[in-house]
Structure 1
């Protein structure tokens, strides 16, 4: 009995467990691993919590927080503003869109990339022939200038906007009185 007692005292005596210590060399102790994991999660949550508990933010931090909230509403309200501008002053809107027609294609790609990355979408731009697009854009300049001149002539405050020019048929049509039953009824009611 002394031999077995001595062997068990050697393996498990003195607050040691040689079998457990040997096994932990090859496999993690699940209880201690869970304790370490819980301590790690608790420390991470405490760190994240302190990030949002700083009530004494400086002016620069508040400015940057506000600035980071602007792009989405600005894009949405800007798009709605374009629709309103097109309804209220179509000629002004058309003139601005002619200017946008001169923006080179690679600049549109750059804007698309910036907006896409800002909103989380990730895509890779394909290689494009930059010089070809610049040349194609430059070829559209005379057309855009002609369109702007036509738009300017259509404004109601342009001199001679109602001039029929040398077109005799148009002058005859413009000079001919149209029948307007509502106006005739109104005139008849006023006379009585």
Structure 2
């Protein structure tokens, strides 16, 4: 099957695209956001689900896509070079159809006529939604240096993990051995012993 890296526009978008969108797309493809060190590589090598369109797996994946916010799906369409005109159900189905087969379909991809439709909304009801599509379409793709800086920060955050949080102090336990070792043994020859004996003699004389 064809890999996403084999589509020129898609390959460029996957290499340079917005980090949040990469996480959303990775969640769709692999059911998790992935790790900073391999997320884009995973997506570039993705070659489709290969589900039967009447199968439960296809239906389950479609339900998963429906749970994603529409603006994020617009961004995914932009990365995959897909047509995002229509209602949310059409957008959901379009994304899944492309990711399922990983092949170009004229009904899925953006063409010039559809882009003109975005600039000329046909009715007021869809005007607000189309404005959002235009806004998403005009988002500037991060240059490679910005993307690397962002992912480098995320990678360091992943590596730091729990060490970045305040560590709970360990409980302190004092054993009898610790106390025993800290007490100086009495040997009867120390300076303190001589002073003690002298004190006893003075006390004895004072009592006679």
TM-score, normalised with respect to structure 1? 0.22
- Compare relative contact order (CA 8 Å, sep 6+) and give the higher one, 1 or 2: 2
The structure with the larger Rg is 1
Looking at secondary structure, tell me which structure has more helix per residue: 1
TM-score, normalised with respect to structure 2? 0.21
